[in-house]
Amino acid sequence: MNRRRSKSIFKKEVRINVILLAFIMALCMAISSFLTYKAITRESEIEALEEEMVEDVLVNHNYDFKNLVWRDYFVSYSDANYDSVLGIDVSYHQGEIDWAKVKEAGVKFAFIRVGYRGYEYGIINKDVMFDYNIQNAIANDIKVGVYFFSQAISVDEARDEVDFVLENIKDYQIDLPVVFDMEEEGPSGIGRVKVLIPEEKTKIAVTWMHRIRNAGYEPMYYGSSQLLARYFDLEYLTEFPLWVAEYGIKPRFDYEFNIWQYSASGEIDGIEKLVDLDILFVPKGETLWGIDAQNK
């Protein structure tokens, strides 16, 4: 009799344990599903935010280019509101740079190419001189930003490019913006983004720069003054600072911008090859990205 009772109790305990185990497993699956759902939802929200295009009004700049001063092939600017400082942008094309001499030459900032996506096949590559350039620029107290040459043809490719950039800059102090540089074609006339309309390019640019901003960096976009309006719907990009390229006695771009790339054939001590020259417009009495134009 006791043996039968013990067996009955044992069977009941087994059933209870099985039910309890099944309940725990179901609860774990429910929690896992909920967390997965939340993660997917959060990622979707982030992606939606990155792709959000907010139309704004284009604002004219208030520079008076009568205040540009040229000395040889160097230019400076000063008025009641702004002063300028000298900068350069470099890649492996400049070879091995003597950054101590660059500093002595008066260069205050440098944009360094971190990488690029190929015009034809779309493969992402790191600039082979990136680490050397950024380490030595920083070591010589030159403020640095970085740029990436984009040939993204979708928002997914834009995210891939940004993830590549973030991985390669994470160990460095980046003071200036992280720059989106999209150009339509290479020297041979090949370019993946040539097939895109301005709306598509704009969406890629917005996604790219929002993702940079969400990672804690200042985004910026770069372009030729003659081609910017053809590349993008500029009214959707006014929330981002702009770096304008135009080689001449003054830029003809009417709208707000922060940096003017005025030459692709500059000569700087410490750089054996020709280099791009830039000026940054800094509001008087202020610093911009850690740069004080009063202490040139």
- Give me the tens of pLDDT residue by residue for the chain, a chain 296 residues long: 444 545 455 455 546 555 666 566 666 565 555 444 444 444 555 566 577 888 888 999 999 999 999 998 899 999 999 999 999 999 999 999 999 999 999 999 999 999 999 988 999 999 999 999 999 999 999 999 999 999 999 999 999 999 999 999 999 999 999 999 998 776 677 788 999 999 999 999 999 999 999 999 999 999 999 889 889 999 999 999 999 999 989 999 999 999 999 999 999 999 999 999 999 999 999 999 999 887 65
Residue 266 near residue 88, CB atoms below 8 Å: yes
The verdict on 17 and 117 lying in the same domain is no
Q: Is residue 58 part of a domain?
A: no
Treating both helix axes as pointing N-terminal to C-terminal, what angle do 2-51 and 155-169 enclose, rounded to 10 degrees?
A: 100
Element (H, E) at 152: none
Range of the domain at 75: 65-292
Same domain, 183 and 44: no
Total structural domains within the chain: 2
- 115 in Cβ contact with 108 (< 8 Å): no
Residues 106 and 25 reside in one and the same domain:
no
The DSSP secondary-structure symbol of 273 reads S
Neighbours of 69 (CB within 10 A): 10
Asked whether residue 59 is assigned to any structural domain, the reply reads no
Residues facing residue 219 across a β-bridge:
178
3-state secondary structure at position 219: strand
Q: Do both 184 and 235 map to the same domain?
A: yes
Q: Do 11 and 79 sit in the same domain of this protein?
A: no
Q: Which amino acid is at 203?
A: K
Q: Is the pTM here over 0.85, yes or no?
A: no
The letter for the amino acid at 26 is A
Residues 1 and 117 grouped into a single domain: no
